Structure formats: C-alpha cells, structure tokens
C-alpha cells in the first residue's frame, strides 16, 4: 500500500532532525499509522504482545484499559468484559 504524505512535512522532519528524506518519509508514515490505529486494533495488538510476554489475561485487561486512556483516541473506559469481546469476537 502506497501512502502519500505532505512533502512539506517530510522536508520539515528531514531538516529538523538531519535525517535523509527517505527516512523522514518512513517516520511520517509510522506516525500516521500510529494515529490511524482504532481502539479495536490497539486492543487486539496489545493483547497479542502481552500474551507473547507470558502475561495472563487477568494481568492484561487492566494494563490495556490503563493504556487506552493515554492514547490519542478518546476511547471510553472499557471493562475487562468489553476488552475480551473485542479480542475474541
């Protein structure tokens, strides 16, 4: 998938950081992807990451619920049951 980002933003990142323009473009793409992630995508991704670290669900749900509050999407507070529905539905 090829995304187009404002060239002035890419040039600004390159100039302000000293990064090559190709690297600055990847940074802009990474930031755009970060902010495009939905609550559901975030919950599923973090659940998978934390399961790989051998955490149990009773440890995972409170951690994800706390992390959601720090993310850019204004997600409502979700219960453990609601988080499980997102992952397992």
Rounded to 5 degrees, φ, ψ at 81 are -65, -45
**Per-residue pLDDT, 74:** 55
CA 56 to chain centre: 21
Which of 85, 4, 13 lies closest to 47, judged by CA?
Answer: 85
pLDDT, average across residues 31-43: 88
Q: How many CA within 13 A on the CB side of residue 33? A: 9
Region 12-38: mean pLDDT is: 93
pLDDT of res. 1: 43
pLDDT at 73 > cutoff 80? no
Looking at residue 47, the DSSP 8-state letter turns out to be H
CB of 53 within 8 A of CB of 35? no
Phi, psi at residue 4, to the nearest 5°? Answer: -110, 130
Domain ranges of the chain: 7-36, 39-88
């Amino acid at each position: 998938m090829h995304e187009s980002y404002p060239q002035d933003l890419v040039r600004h990142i390159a100039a302000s950081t000293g990064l090559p323009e190709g690297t600055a473009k990847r940074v802009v793409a990474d930031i755009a992807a970060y902010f495009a992630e939905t609550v559901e995508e975030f919950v599923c991704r973090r659940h998978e990451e934390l399961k790989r670290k051998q955490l149990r669900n009773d440890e995972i749900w409170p951690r994800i619920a706390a992390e959601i509050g720090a993310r850019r999407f204004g997600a409502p507070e979700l219960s453990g049951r609601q988080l499980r529905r997102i992952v397992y539905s």
